[in-house]
Amino acid sequence: MTRSLHRACAPTLALLSASLVLALAPLAAQAQTAAAPAAAPAAPAASAPKGLPKEFGFFVTSEPIGKGGDLGGLAGADAHCQKLATAVGAGQKTWHAYLSTQAAEGKPAVNARERIGNGPWVNARGAVVARDLAHLHGDTLELAQLGNNISKATVFNEKNEAILGFGDKPNQHDILTGTQPDGRAYTDAADHTCRNWTSSAADASAQIGHHDRTGGGNPSWNSTHKTRGCTQEQLVSTGGAGLLYCFAVN
């Protein structure tokens, strides 16, 4: 009798078990979903280089190209500024070297002041070195008397390191510019740009400025004196290393 009852109830128990499994399946799925770790949120876009102010837009190169006055033309100099800025996380901006070129071979002169945007420009420690082009170059008597904020105390490389100047060993205050004090190219026949930044010849020459505003007969940051030649050794011998001013255009 008991065996007969068990056989009679077996189909019913099987159906109940199957129904129970189906009923509990959604609950099990929900439990697994709840237990799964949440996806990590997307990393926020970087708004400023690490350790540098968001407005960072001016530096002197930490190293020269190393071929004297042969910078590969303006394009090579700009690429050097861009590479160094990119290495410290500031490559999202467009960087140009502060350099002029002279009219030659049917090509017009290029003025350094017209290549660097409109400012303001902020150094690696957040200080404004110039509000705009007029302030940078002292375009009016008032601005010339006021002066910009470029000095040894405010000029740093892209790594936020000070640049060696007068009294340091070695002195590296000569910064290549090829420009007149107003930021424009020279119009005479003399070479002021190492043949438009394509020559490392001993008989070529370039105009330089002093970032520390010291020595050379005048305190100009962009037009103090000429180099003895355009070899790397000659640039070093006059108190430099072939370093460049780099400005963020945007």
Q: What is the 8-class DSSP label of residue 169?
A: S
Question: Residue 144 falls within a domain, yes or no?
Answer: yes
Residues 248, 117 contacting (CB under 8 angstroms):
yes
Q: Mind listing the pLDDT tens digit for each residue in 104-147?
A: 999 999 999 999 999 999 999 999 999 999 999 999 999 998 89
Q: What is the pTM of this model?
A: 0.80
Residue 15 neighbours by CB distance under 10 Å: 10
Question: Residue 174 falls within a domain, yes or no?
Answer: yes
Q: For position 104, which CATH number holds? A: 3.10.100.10
Range of the domain at 217: 58-248
Question: Residue 50 falls within a domain, yes or no?
Answer: no
Question: Residue 225 falls within a domain, yes or no?
Answer: yes
Question: Residue 140 falls within a domain, yes or no?
Answer: yes
Question: Residue 153 falls within a domain, yes or no?
Answer: yes
| Res 50: pLDDT | 66
Q: Is the pLDDT of residue 3 over 60?
A: no
Question: Residue 142 falls within a domain, yes or no?
Answer: yes
Question: Residue 68 falls within a domain, yes or no?
Answer: yes
Give the chain's domain count.
Answer: 1
Q: Distance between CA atoms of 178 and 224, rounded to whole angstroms?
A: 10
Q: Is the pLDDT of residue 76 over 50?
A: yes
9 vs 240: which has the higher pLDDT: 240
Beta bridge partners of 58: 247
Judging by DSSP bridges, how do beta strands 240-248 and 174-176 pair with one another?
Answer: parallel
